[in-house]
Chains A and B, each alone.
Chain A
Amino acid sequence: MSWDLFSSAASESRNAALARSVAARDTDLFPMAAPRDGWTVAAVNAAARELVESVFPPMWVTGEVSNFVRARSGHCYFSLRDEDAQLRCVMWREEARRLPTTPPDGMQVRALGRLSLYEPRGEFQLVVSDLDRKGEGLWRLARERLRLQLDAEGLLAAERKRPLPRHPRSVGVVTSLSGAALRDILAVIRRRAPWTEVVVCGCRVQGDGAAAEISAAIRRFGQARCADVLIVGRGGGSVEDLWAFNEESVARALAESPIPTISAVGHETDITIADLVADLRAPTPSAAAEAAVPERGELRRETAALARRLEDGVREHIAAGREQAAGLGTALVRASRAHVADRRAALVEAAGRLHALSPLAALARGFAVPLAPDGRVLRGVREFAPGAAFQLRVADGAVACRVAP
């Protein structure tokens, strides 16, 4: 087992110095005289504990984890081991709560702790306050475990991804009120789509309780329905700073959100569980805002194109109407012309018939009509008195005549 003091930079010489200081205290380990009946076990263990705790400063110890057990009390017990030795370790509940997950047997870790001695058993142990915060193995493992679980539930499936509204009236933001992420998001929305309303639900985005606040904020938006799309995120930070976005509660809140979600956690290279569950993963908060709202100029062009289509459509309609009306007019004229021609033919025919009946026709054939001076037609011999004058009407005029005396 290798260990060093305070930091990984500590050297062998510091270890040697420590050994010398322990040796130097040999003589005054037990300043008071040994009791006559010998030391009690408890006193020995207490003295040993005091010695161990006073001599060794906190130290980082690297080794393999074995037999990691989380007791019902929340305290964790395990051993660190290497090829040659093992060291009992305990991690109290308060510290253990911050572990992202339990390390599996055989995992290489670094533990920060103080050496101590468990008096009831006389067991030498390392009281660990921090495990593997520097290395990312445990965090990566926790994330991977959660990812597999969510994947098995289908929560990461591509089919679950909902499309974002193209023109949201309101954009919800779940982030810290004091963070750069909110400033960036507001700046982008003001520039691209200033008519959009922004609703912010402030929450802590790192540290104990952050995950609970983030998921509560996401759920509150779901309840209030006061946004058409939701941006959930924060600016860049260490793996530990971003950790809340790898927690199950945040993942579940995102998966259950009735509002489509965009995750925006840290920088381009940080991929969190939240990124996998959200409907869209944006590499940064600014990029999330860009994905959430359309750009004003683009939208103006789009609207202008729609207006053109609208005009063209109605113009075509009017042209079609005009064409139809013109067609009908032509048909009407043609129909009425035909009608007139028909009538004219009928008229000619009637005139012919009328002509056939006319007495003028008889005159034309050489007949003549005698008319009395008063215009009466003289139809019989008795009407012709001798010497009386009458007219004889022929086809082209009248001839004055007198009955022979």
Chain B
Amino acid sequence: MSEPTLEAALARLEAIIEEIEGGALELDAALARFAEGVELVRRAGETLDAAETRVQQLLADGEDWDLRPLPTDG
């Protein structure tokens, strides 16, 4: 999955904020982090707006396993 998970995005956002609040960054580095943070906020917002829960079924496949969409009753 190339998109960071919401968990990862929020953790990164928090790290960025702490770095910026720490005040040790050069201004241009702080601005670069800010741009990254704004993007993370935007993507987190998009995630939160997602409409449909995907439901999968974990199936045994011999020793192995498999994921298939679970037909939902709606």
* A binding-site residues for B, Cβ under 8 Å: 165-169, 172, 177, 183, 186, 189-190, 194-202, 216-217, 220-221, 223-224, 226, 228, 296, 299-300, 302-303, 306-307, 309-311, 313-314, 316-318, 320-321
Interface residues of B in 9-41 (CB under 8 A from A): 10, 13-14, 16-17, 20-21, 23, 25, 27, 30-31, 33-34, 37-38, 41
Given known contacts A303-B41, A313-B30, what 20 new A-B pairs fall within 8 Å (CB)? A167-B6, A167-B10, A177-B70, A183-B73, A194-B53, A195-B6, A195-B50, A198-B53, A224-B65, A228-B7, A303-B13, A306-B14, A307-B41, A309-B21, A310-B13, A310-B38, A313-B17, A313-B21, A316-B21, A321-B27
Q: 8 A-B Cβ contacts within 8 A?
A: A198-B56, A200-B58, A226-B56, A303-B13, A310-B20, A310-B37, A314-B31, A317-B25
Shortest distance from the beta carbon of A181 to any chain B beta carbon, whole Å: 14
Among the listed B14, B25, B31, B53, which residue makes an inter-chain contact with A190, where contact means beta carbons less than 8 Å apart?
A: B53
Q: Which residues of B contact A168 (CB under 8 A)?
A: 7
Contact B20–A317 (Cβ < 8 Å): yes
Across-interface contacts of B72 in A (CB, < 8 A): 186
With beta carbons under 8 angstroms apart, the residue of A183, A194, A220, A221 that contacts B52 is A194
Are B6 and A169 within 8 A (Cβ)? yes
Q: A317 with B30: in contact, given A167-B6, A310-B37 (CB under 8 Å)? A: yes
**Chain B residue at minimal CB-CB distance from A198:** B55
Name the residue on A nearest B16 (C-beta): A310
- A185 → chain B closest CB, angstroms: 10
| Cβ A199 vs Cβ B16 within 8 A | no
Please tell me if the beta carbons of B5 and A167 are within 8 angstroms of each other in the complex.
yes
Pick from B7, B30, B70, B73: contact of A314, CB under 8 Å: B30
Q: Which residue of chain B lies nearest to A300 when distances are taken between CB atoms in the complex?
A: B48
Q: What CA separation (Å) do A4 and B41 show in the bound complex?
A: 72
A201 to B66, CA, bound (A): 10
The interface residues of chain B lying within 8 Å CB-to-CB of A310 are 13, 16-17, 20, 34, 37-38, 41
Let me know if B48 and A220 touch, CB within 8 A. Answer: no
Contact A220 B14 (CB under 8 A): no
Say how far A126's CB is from chain B's closest CB, in angstroms. 43
B7: which of A169, A177, A189, A202 is its contact (CB, 8 Å)?
A: A169
* Distance from B53 Cβ to chain A, minimum over Cβ atoms (Å): 5
Docked CA distance A224–B5 (Å): 18
Query: B interface vs A, CB < 8 Å?
Result: 5-7, 10, 13-14, 16-17, 20-21, 23, 25, 27, 30-31, 33-34, 37-38, 41, 44-45, 47-48, 50-60, 65, 67, 70, 72-73
Are A303 and B48 interface neighbours, CB within 8 A? yes
The answer to whether B53 and A189 have CB atoms under 8 Å apart is yes
- Please name the residue on chain A nearest to B51 by beta carbon: A194
Residues of B within 8 A of A296 (CB): 48
**Chain A residue with the shortest CB-CB distance to B73:** A183
Given the complex, which residues of A lie within 8 Å of B16, measured CB to CB?
310
What is the chain A residue whose CB lies nearest that of B58? A201
**Measured CA separation A172–B38 after assembly (Å):** 31
Q: Least Cβ distance of B13 to chain A in Å?
A: 5
B41/A317 in contact, CB under 8 A? no
Do the beta carbons of B37 and A224 come within 8 Å of each other? no
Q: How far is the CA of A175 from the CA of B36 in the complex (A)?
A: 41
Q: How far is the CA of A156 from the CA of B45 in the complex (A)?
A: 39
Contacts of B70 in A (CB 8 A): 177, 200
Contacts of A199 in B (CB 8 A): 55-58, 67
Complex CA–CA separation, A186 to B71 (angstroms) = 13
Q: For the complex formed, measure the closest distance between the CB of A179 and the CB atoms of chain B, giving whole angstroms.
A: 12
Shortest distance in angstroms between A198's beta carbon and chain B's nearest beta carbon? 5
Contact A200 B65, beta carbon cutoff 8 Å? no
Residues of A with C-beta under 8 A to B37 = 307, 310
Distance in angstroms between the alpha carbons of A313 and B34 in the assembled complex: 9
Q: Are B60 and A220 in contact (CB under 8 A)?
A: yes
Asked, given contacts A220-B65, A224-B65, A296-B48, whether A313 binds B20 with beta carbons under 8 Å apart, the answer is yes
Minimal Cβ-Cβ distance residue in A for B1: A169
Q: Which B residue sits closest to A190, measured CB to CB?
A: B53
CB distance from A394 to the nearest CB of B (A): 70
- Nearest opposing residue in chain A for B65, CB measure: A224
